[in-house]
Amino acid sequence: MNLPLGYRYSAVYAGLRKAAKPDLVLIVSDTPASAAAMFTTNRVQAAPVKLCRRHLASSGGRVRALLINAGNANCATRTGDRVAAATSRALAKALQCPVDHVLPSSTGVIGVELDGSKIVNALPELIAGLAAEGFAAAAESIMTTDTVPKTAWAESEGVRIAGMTKGAGMIQPNMATTLGYVLTDAVIAPARLKTMLRRAVERSYHRLSVDGDTSTNDTVALMANGASGRPPGRKFEEALAQVFESLAQQIARDGEGARKLIHIEVTGARTDAEAVRIARAIANSPLVKTAVAGSDPNWGRILCAAGYSGAAFEPEQADVYLQGVRVCRRGLAARFDEAAMAGKLDAKDCRIQFVLAGGRGTAKFWTCDLTEGYIEINGSYRT
């Protein structure tokens, strides 16, 4: 993979998580980059999320460095704001850049004070380790309950895009956090980058659900440092969106306890917004997710979920396809080979298509099956 030019990466163990694996990551652009970011909509917001908003506002969307720690979410903490500010200041001083050119992120346990000195003390080693080859190590170091690192990249008309993300669930006693960082060496102004980020997130992270819980730390950032000297071409935005979609799908596939990635596609709704409502209801239905886990072609649960989604449609006009086979026709049972279907549903990828007649609204959505593994991971605080 060809990484974007002008970025370096580093990861060290700062002692924030119990397991002695790297828990502090630094991503630096050699020059100030255009940057845009989107954050959790939860009313409870972690200190680094609040600080990132302020830094992006005061810098006008310019960023040199991303400082990410795992092991502690720095949320619902007395000293949270001070710790986020102090660590950002220390890094900015070391990099000789304005403090608002630093975007901090945290993921891990909430309600436990984050010891900022551990981060400050680790900075020299972290900065010394900066290398263009550090991308993979960085992606691995932001993992919490993730079972695999998640990266994606693309090259489009002479510019490069690379992204890493994490998310699967929580490290006990904690909640899920989604973090995503996408870098490009294209020349893009902050304002335009913001628009591109919103469009890409709309068809990727906003189409993703593992358990319907929205964390206090969710952060997705996009940086463009212009190191390629080229503006984005006509195909750039599509390439960017595909990187985002790949990252979002990898999160769903690695959902806690998940054995299957569920692809949901709704077509024929009155509007795209209604298609999304239907897709989200199907994706969040425990009945649908457990049925998929059991390779149960249970179209009734899918029709039911669509029915309470709030979207307006006539059940008599709804067809449901599983793995490309129509199991429900016009709201009624369709003839299909149950045994063969159960076999098809044992695949690692399950495709659910909800097809309505008439409308032009469409939506894609990704989730995972719901298994005993999810319960074990999230119910076993004391074991």
From residue 46, give the alpha-carbon distance in Å to each of 121, 209, 218, 380. Answer: 22, 21, 9, 25
> Which one of 54-62, 134-142, 205-213, 264-272 is the stretch in contact with a copy of itself (CB under 8 A)?
205-213
Size of the site for a copy of itself (CB under 8 A): 65
Among residues 60, 173, 229, 233, which is the contact residue for a copy of itself, using CB under 8 A?
173
Span 77-96, contacts to a copy of itself by CB under 8 A: 77-78
Q: Quick check: 179 binds a copy of itself (CB under 8 A)?
A: no
**Is residue 348 close enough to count as binding a copy of itself by CB under 8 A?**
no
Least distance to a copy of itself, CB of residue 224, Å: 30
Backbone angles phi, psi at 62, to 5 degrees: -115, 135
3-state secondary structure 209-263: CCCCCCCCCCEEEEEECCCCCCCCCCCHHHHHHHHHHHHHHHHHHCCCCCCCEEE
Interactions with a copy of itself, residue window 35-64 (CB under 8 A): 41-44
Active site residue 147: no
CB of 213 to a copy of itself, least distance (A): 5
Decide if residue 357 touches a copy of itself (CB under 8 A). no
Among 265, 78, 256, 278, smallest CA distance to 169 is for 256
Looking only at residues 290 through 309 of this chain, which bind a copy of itself when binding is defined by CB under 8 A? 290-291, 293-301, 303-308
User: Which residues does 207 contact at the CB level (< 8 Å), separation at least 6?
Assistant: 248, 276, 279, 363, 364, 365, 366
* Between 15 and 307, CB nearer to a copy of itself: 307
CB of 77 to a copy of itself, least distance (A): 7
Query: Which listed residue (177, 178, 216, 367) is catalytic?
Result: 177
98 burial level (CB within 10 Å; 0-12, 13-18, 19+) = middle
Binding site for a copy of itself (CB under 8 A): 41-44, 75-78, 109-112, 170, 172-176, 211-216, 284-287, 290-291, 293-301, 303-308, 312-313, 315, 328, 331-333, 342, 370-372, 374-376, 378-383
Catalytic residue set: 177
